[in-house]
Structure 1
Amino acid sequence: MDILPAGSRLAVVRSQLAVDSSSEGSCTPPGSGKEPFPDYNEFDCDTIASQCTADQCHDDAWNYALGKAIQAEIRQCQVDPNIIPYVPSEPGERSQVVLEELKELLSDPQMRPQTRHRYITLLNITLHLNHVIFHQNPEFLAPKETSDAKLPTETILTHLAWLDAMLKEQCQAVDDIAFVLRQIEHDDISVYEKLREMARVVARGLKKPRPLERQLLELYHALFEEWVHTPFLRLRNCQVLTEETTSLARTELTRHVIAIWDVSSRCIENYDAYTWATLQIREGFFVPTMDHLVHATDVWEQCWNNDMAITDLTEWTAH
């Protein structure tokens, strides 16, 4: 062993790491009476694990409470003041439940402000339509009320028709993306480059489905059914039997109400079809490729964040 100058730092370290002849070359601090690397202590590890679990539960509870506080603030300041039914008790208990669920969902902190604003507008148009049809005049579908109901029904139908067309276009885009991905799979490039190219194609060509959007579509469909569609058809079917002459305005309004319900139902179906198709893209192309790369998740997230459109799938950017 090299002779070191007295008092040098290395000499001090060596003096503290004396080799114990009874421990097969292990280094033990002199006079400690303990092994430098003691046996695994299961009790201590269980204690640490329990503490970590308790800390995680505490963090989860805190995050949940904070999220609920933010949600209550959004509802109090942005949702409730802007959604006021003309007849608070109309039309029944089930309708009030659906309206309450829709308000709660629109208050979700994860909801994009643009989406919240547009659905609040659509909801208010629907509540106004309910007032015009059922409460503005004791006579059901009097000439003035039939005329007044034309604009809100056409406005709702225009929005939903655009949404329906856009979802159909996205479903077609999935097929086009799948064709491109199959071509990339056969390219003579590394697995890393294949993943990057596929991620770019998907991020630029598809929008990410969001559970909140799906819930919004379903709840709005339920609200329109409860507040307009079902009571309208019940009264209208009875009215048709007693009409002496056919009213073209009433007939056109009836067609619009039925069309809104149909298009809304189709939007939900198309959204589900698009969500399923995107999952098939992931399982069919990305999962097999990502299994071959250690940092595949990082590559995917980087490409997605760089190229993904920031709007929601059902964002009404065209209006």
Structure 2
Amino acid sequence: MHTVAVLALEQVIPFDLSTPLEVFSRVRLPDGRRPYQVRVCAPTPQIPAAGFTITAPWGLERLVDADTVIVPGRAEGAPPPGERVLDALRRAAAGGTRIASICVGAFDLAETGLLDGLAATTHWIAATELARCFPAVEVRPDVLYVDNGQLLTSAGAAAGLDLCLHMIRRDFGSAVAADAARLAVTPLEREGGQAQFIVHPQPPVPRGSALEPALAWMEEHLSEDLTLDVLAHSSGMSSRTFSRRFREQTGTTPLQWLLRARVRRAQFLLESTDHTIDRIADQAGFGSPTAFRERFKRVAGTSPQNYRATFRSSA
């Protein structure tokens, strides 16, 4: 039997904790056997969570003999995991245990040093902070999960479910994983490389910068045909000077900045209106529906139609 140990730490996110408990405990093989034994392990028998207390029957010493350890995310402001926890995770890894994190659980896993030199992901909101805190980790903010073999990380809570199903498929094949997905009422098809459907905020410019009015002007004229010469002229600079200052202060080019701003505009329209794809392509300044579909997918990781189906507001 495959043992899955779910690590419970102070201020653990309840959904991140319950997802692996629920998914792995309900898996059945074709002959009806349960292939997983699931246990909750913690530094102390009682762990405070958001509004309730978790009772953990097993201590940290049981991580080392588990086949898989799950590190859930924890609420913002949670205390650091502590050396006892980090040492327990390192010992488990040294013994060959597979370790997977859900959402911001990647921070606790990265704290061990086990992710150094490896690719990893986390919720897109926290990806920049993860990269800042752990520069030796190759943070990939645009995927649902990353499988390095022994060490795995996932994005938000729903991506944690995708990762659990991925590990079940690795362990016992697609048929068993598909059955687990049906029990969880979720599709099995979402692969790890699928984007998180997020276009990240543009890099900020220093307050009072000469670029501030230029960026505001660009936002107001997204639907127009904006070439580099037009952008530079609107700022009273030459194209070369404008490009240089823009890259110095934003870390990207004017046209790349413009593309992401247009995609964000399109996302808003896809979520909040019933406008046709052709109309949104024009409103966001893409010129043609074909260019809109190609560029939107390049930045957002999915087609405009799929994005609308996922995020369309009921209003």
TM-score under structure 2 length normalisation:
0.22
Computing the radius of gyration over CA atoms, which structure comes out larger, 1 or 2?
A: 1
TM-score under structure 1 length normalisation:
0.22
Q: Which has the higher contact order (CA 8 A, sep 6+)?
A: 1
**Which is richer in helix?**
1
**Which is richer in strand?**
2
